[in-house]
Amino acid sequence: MFELWCGLDRDMLPPSPKSDGEAWSAAMQVPIGFAPSGATRENGMCWSFAASATMVTVGTAATAIAMRRRLPAIVPAIVGYFTLMEALQTAGYLVADTCGTPANRAVTLLSYLHIVFQPLVINAFGMHLLPGEVSRRLRVGVYGLCALSAAVMLLQLAPLEWAGSCRIGQPLCGSELCVRSGSWHIAWHIPFNGLMRPVDETFGLNLGFPSYMLTVFLLPVAYGAWRFAVFHFLIGPLLANLLTRNQNEAPAIWCLFSIAIILVTLSPPFLRWLHVDRWPLWPRHWQSRPAA
């Protein structure tokens, strides 16, 4: 049974008894099923390099199977895309806490760039859950909004003095570009600017990247893929934030779960449940008129 210790930050753990450090260390071992490399509650890490590498293997196999079965192109594309993120997280374990090194900075930057373009892939899958004619008519507008979100997120990475800096405590905000060890998984630290801070402050939010959240969750709901959006939210950011209060680590945990989310949604019965045939915001002629 999973133990809640794996979701606690180091400063939430009881202090190690000075008189019997070895006994404490032995007692604080995390169940082996969640720590293939021998992580402990003492260091807080419940995931590992070996576990991430295993996820890469599973994702690669699933991508190959989807291609071999000639499933719609979006299926192997989305599984492969999030398998790539898991490969970046695996590399993150190799360079974690070596801030300032070229390898650490490269892995961190590539991870951020992967996140930037996730809305395009996620919405491609979301539209796959709609009738063909509806999806065809939505495609240009949806991809356009996702591209706009990507542009905003890239601009957030630019050193714009007039925009100020992000606020420590916002998701991913850090003083330097670095991947570090978290309490549960790895944690990305990105020194992005404060371009979107007024949005958070105006609405009392702490999103950091509001364009991402809008295109990944509200946009699919708006065009009808609401079941997928709700499922993604529950098993993605909500669960990640229950496992850690570290806002640099939560996005990495969310990305870790993403490949599992996609694999689950590829189950034929579950995929049928996710599919949407009617939505009040669709004009009637979208469903009645054949595709060109």
Q: What is the pLDDT of residues 220-246, one digit of tens each?
A: 999 999 999 999 999 889 988 888 888
Chain mean pLDDT for the chain = 82
Backbone angles phi, psi at 177, to 5 degrees: -75, 110
Average pLDDT over residues 273-289: 84
Residue 262 banded pLDDT, cuts 50, 70, 90? confident
What pLDDT score does 84 carry?
Answer: 94
What pLDDT score does 193 carry?
Answer: 97
170 lies in some domain: yes
Quote the percentage of the chain above a pLDDT of 70.
82
What pLDDT score does 7 carry?
Answer: 43
What pLDDT score does 174 carry?
Answer: 95
76 lies in some domain: yes
Of 172 and 13, the one with more pLDDT: 172
pLDDT(21) > 50: no
What pLDDT score does 32 carry?
Answer: 27
pLDDT(276) > 50: yes
What pLDDT score does 285 carry?
Answer: 81
98 lies in some domain: yes
d(CA 13, CA 81): 36
What pLDDT score does 6 carry?
Answer: 52
What pLDDT score does 39 carry?
Answer: 39
154 lies in some domain: yes
pLDDT(12) > 60: no
pLDDT(19) > 50: no
Into how many domains does the chain fold? Answer: 1
Backbone angles phi, psi at 152, to 5 degrees: -65, -45
> 2, 34 in Cβ contact below 8 A?
yes
238 lies in some domain: yes
Q: Which amino acid is at 202?
A: T
13 lies in some domain: no
> 47, 89 in Cβ contact below 8 A?
no
pLDDT(186) > 80: yes
State which residues form the domain around 134: 29-277
Our separate counts of H helices and E strands in the chain read 14, 2
What pLDDT score does 33 carry?
Answer: 32
284 lies in some domain: no
Tokens of 249: 């680590």
Average pLDDT over residues 6-13: 44
pLDDT(1) > 50: no
pLDDT(182) > 70: yes
14 lies in some domain: no
What pLDDT score does 2 carry?
Answer: 35
Give pLDDT tens digits for 99-147.
999 999 999 999 999 999 999 999 999 999 999 999 999 999 999 999 9
Q: Cα–Cα distances in Å, from 255 out to 12, 13, 133, 188?
A: 24, 25, 31, 12
Looking up tokens 């669709």 gives 282
pLDDT(11) > 60: no
Of residues 27, 31, 56, the one with CA closest to residue 46: 31
What pLDDT score does 47 carry?
Answer: 66
Beta bridge partners of residue 193, listed in sequence order: 165
